[in-house]
Amino acid sequence: MNWNRRTATWAGLALLVLTNAVALGGAAWNRSGEPDSRLQLSERELSVPWSAWSPPGAENSGLSLRLNWRCNPAAKTSASRASYYDDASPGWLDTRKLTELGFDMGRAGGTPGLHRPHEVREVWVVLELDGPAYRAWQAAAAAEAASAAAAEAAKPPPHRVAHVEPPHGASRLFAVDAGLDRAALRVRYADRAQYAVVRAKVGRLRDTEDVVDGGRIESLSIDEVNVPLALRPAFAAAAPAGRGGVERSRFIATVAFGRRAEPWLVDARPLPAAPDAR
C-alpha cells in the first residue's frame, strides 16, 4: 500500500482516537460499581509534586497530587544498611515475604556495595491509614526525640540546642503488607476506609557486609491523583511541602481506589490554617 502524507495523518489520528477511547474505557471500568476503598486523606498524605507546582495566579492547565506513604523500616543489621534502605524498606519485607512474592532467594541478591535492586516485581501492597503502623512510628519518633533531648541536656550550655521534639505533620499512610492475591489481602484487611490495596514495584536488595537479602518498595505503580477542575478551589494555595515562603494549605480529600486499583479524587474541601498535628 502506498502510504502518502494524508493517509499517514489519518492513520495517526485514528490511532490517537483509539488510544484515548481505550484509556477512557479503562478509567470508566475502574470507577464502575462500588470502590474497593475510600480513604479520607489530608495534605499530609497528598502533596503537589514539584513538577506540577506553579505559584498562585500562574496559568496551569492541570494539577495532580502525589500520594505520600511511608513504612516502619527494618532494624539495621550493620553500619552498611544506610538510609537508602530505611526510607522504603519495611521490617515485614523480609526473606520469607520476598519468597512469597516470587523472588528466587537462592540466587545472589545483587552486587555488593551498589545498593541496587537485583530484581523488581509488581505486586499488591497494602496501605494503612492512621493505624497501628503510624502509632508505632509515633512512639519510636517520640522515644528518639526524648533520647536526643536527654543527650542535648547533658551538653554544656553553649552547645545545647533550644528545643528538641519529635517530627510532626508527616504522612499517616503506611505500607504494611504485600502479596500476589489482591482478594486475599482484602479479606485480611477488610476495612475499606482504612486500607487500600494497590499495585507497587518491589525490589530485592543485598547488604554490603552481612550479605543479608532485604526488600524495598521501589514505588507505587500509580502514585499521583489528578484533580478535576471542579475541585481545584480546595487546593488553591497548595504548594510542594517545604517550599520556601509558601505556607502549605490544609484540606481533607476523599480518594477512591477502583476495580483496577487506580485512585481518583471524589471530594475535597479546604480547612482553616493551623499547626500540623502529630
Q: Give the separation between CA 267 and CA 235, rounded to whole angstroms.
A: 12
224-226 and 263-271 as β-strands: parallel, antiparallel, unpaired? unpaired
Return the pLDDT at 143.
85
Handedness of CA 16, 19, 24, 25 (dihedral sign): positive
Cβ–Cβ < 8 Å for 254, 266: yes
Return the pLDDT at 59.
55
pLDDT (tens digit per residue) in 17-38: 555 555 446 567 667 779 999 9
User: Which H or E run includes 119?
Assistant: strand 119-129
Residue 125, phi then psi, degrees to nearest 5: -125, 140
Say whether 68 sits in a helix, a strand or coil: coil
275: its cell numbers: 499547626
pLDDT at 60 over 50: yes
Return the pLDDT at 88.
82
CA neighbours closer than 13 Å in the CB half-sphere of residue 239: 14
Average pLDDT over residues 134-155: 80
pLDDT (tens digit per residue) in 151-191: 766 666 655 544 444 445 789 999 999 999 999 999 999 99
pLDDT at 7 over 50: yes
Query: Mean of the per-residue pLDDT values for the chain?
Result: 77
CA neighbours closer than 13 Å in the CB half-sphere of residue 10: 4
Cβ–Cβ < 8 Å for 96, 181: no
Cβ–Cβ < 8 Å for 237, 57: no
46-47 and 37-42 as β-strands: parallel, antiparallel, unpaired? unpaired
Beta bridge partner(s), residue 197 = 126
pLDDT (tens digit per residue) in 200-223: 999 987 655 545 567 899 999 999
Residue 130: which region, alpha, beta or left (left: phi > 0; alpha: psi -120 to 50)? Answer: left
